[in-house]
Structure 1
Amino acid sequence: MKTITIRLAGLLQSYGNEAPFNIRTTSNYPSKSAVIGMISAAFGYQRDCSKIQIFNRLEFAVRIDQPGKLLTDFQTVHTAKSSYTTHRDYLQDAVFVVAIGSDDEQLIDDIDEALHHPKYQLFLGRRANVPAGILKTKVFKNTNPLTALKQLSCQADEWYQYQHYQGRDSIQLKVLGDANLVPDAESFLVKDTVKSFDQSHRQHGFRAVVESNVITKIIWRDGNRMNDSGPDTHHNPMRFL
């Protein structure tokens, strides 16, 4: 099996669950359907393209490296007859690492290529939530998603690692993945298998998920990336002129 890890970071992220139009909540971590949607956009697939179903077969796990903070946005909608307020929840400054595995190694290579040369705009849940720059990916051979997340060092922002993990060499992080990745663990159901992205008939199915923890290395200590007073936040855009 070959696995690709994808670092998901951005100013705002939102991974909606079932909710009415005027109240849109978010999960605390990326859903499989949201990641499938991002990959489908990278390939240039339309919402009703049958090829999207292939991505449901991918083994999936997500690691929470930087939980972020919840932000609720209130918007007033005016109609001809009335006005009402809508609520939109977002995750601020969160960082996740998604791991996707398949025995079809060429498919993983194609996904990696597409994510770096996307046909359509990539987004983190909702279309307005763009990634913070180019996606950082890494491909692991002969490795399933859970093992890949154990091997990959913590991908939280350096300032976050400095504030929370100073003086430590490793950290335990939460992982949520397909139930078959941890056979002995108790599983629960989430509704994020893609049946249809069609806006007129959007449908999702259930899949079994397990929660576990992995221990990973801290990266901010490597390569003297920070000085003694913390992360180097000096920014001088004029130097490029």
Structure 2
Amino acid sequence: MKTITIRLASPLQSFGNEATFSHRTTELYPTKSLIVGMLAASLGYRRDDSRINQLNNLQIAVRIDQPGKVLTDFQTVEFKPDTRKLTYRNYLQDGVFIVAISAHDKTIDKLKYALLHPKFQLYIGRRSNPIAGVLKINEFDDDALKVLKKLDWQASEWYQKKYKSEEYFAEIIADASLSKNNSGSLVKDAVGSFNQHSRFHDYRAVVNVHVSLKNKFYQEHSTKHDIFNAI
């Protein structure tokens, strides 16, 4: 088994959840359906391709290295003449997330190549949210959860410098199959179908883990002042 990590970053991101048409909210981390959708787009799978559901079997974990701030945008939609309606869209600003994907060696090699040579344009949640540059992908010989527990903090440099603590406590949301902990929960973000006429999601079991990551830019400032040492 091998694992690849992907650093997901973009000025704006959106991770769909159960929301109404008039107000589209967002999760605070990349959902499994978003990750599966990116992989499917990289591989050239179309929305109704049956192979997409096989990607649900990948073991996936996500670490929140730089929480995004929620931004709400509004749009005017006109379904019929003179029937304008305001709709709202939530986005995350400046978030940085580390996605870890585990599978057999050949599968990981195929996914890594596809992500670096995608068949379709990749974006984070909506077409207006392109990825910030070439994906940063690394490879490890361990499972996704163990990799994220050990991996250095990957937040933006400006964020790490402004963070006033020696340690950053990151949250990991992982497939329950990666953990021996039985106190998980169910979230509805596995892919059921991406077909535009019958789109739906299924439940999956997840665990939430918190890890302490070192802030390499932290400097402790002493308040002691001895004027005689300057003489």
| Common fold by TM > 0.5 | yes
Greater mean deviation of Cα atoms: 46-55 or 175-184: 175-184
Match of 2:200 in 1: 203
The answer (yes or no) to whether the contact 1:17–1:26 under 8 Å persists in 2 is: yes
1:96-143 residue CA offsets vs partner (Å, 9 max, x unmatched): 0011111x21111111111111111001112221111011111111x1
Distance 1:165 1:59 in 2: 34
Distance 2:70 2:32 in 1: 20
Structure 2 residue ranges without an equivalent (≥5): 219-231
CA drift at 1:180: 2.2
Structure 1 residue ranges without an equivalent (≥5): 222-241
Match of 1:70 in 2: 70
CA drift at 1:165: 4.6
Distance 2:100 2:216 in 1: 19
The answer (yes or no) to whether the contact 1:41–1:118 under 8 Å persists in 2 is: yes
Superposition pairs for residues 8-157 of structure 1, below 5 Å? 8-78=8-78, 79-102=80-103, 104-141=104-141, 143-157=142-156
The answer (yes or no) to whether the contact 1:177–1:209 under 8 Å persists in 2 is: yes
1:139 counterpart letter in structure 2: E
1:176-231 residue CA offsets vs partner (Å, 9 max, x unmatched): 1111222224211111111211111112110011111123343557xxxxxxxxxx
Match of 1:226 in 2: none
1:159 counterpart letter in structure 2: W
Distance 2:215 2:42 in 1: 31
Greater mean deviation of Cα atoms: 154-163 or 211-220: 211-220
Distance 2:216 2:30 in 1: 23
Partner SS for 1:85? strand
Distance 1:109 1:151 in 2: 22
TM-score where L is the length of structure 1? 0.86
Match of 1:227 in 2: none
Superposition pairs for residues 144-223 of structure 1, below 5 Å? 144-165=143-164, 168=166, 170-218=167-215, 220=217
Distance 1:191 1:3 in 2: 24
The answer (yes or no) to whether the contact 1:61–1:146 under 8 Å persists in 2 is: yes
TM-score where L is the length of structure 2? 0.90
Paired residues in the alignment total 217
Larger radius of gyration: 2
CA drift at 1:83: 1.1
The answer (yes or no) to whether the contact 2:174–2:208 under 8 Å persists in 1 is: yes
Distance 2:182 2:214 in 1: 24
2:32 counterpart letter in structure 1: K
**Segments of 4+ in structure 1 off by > 4 A?**
none
Distance 1:19 1:73 in 2: 15
1:94 counterpart letter in structure 2: G
Partner SS for 1:125? coil
Distance 1:4 1:214 in 2: 19
Percent identity (aligned) = 50
Match of 2:223 in 1: none
CA drift at 1:151: 2.1
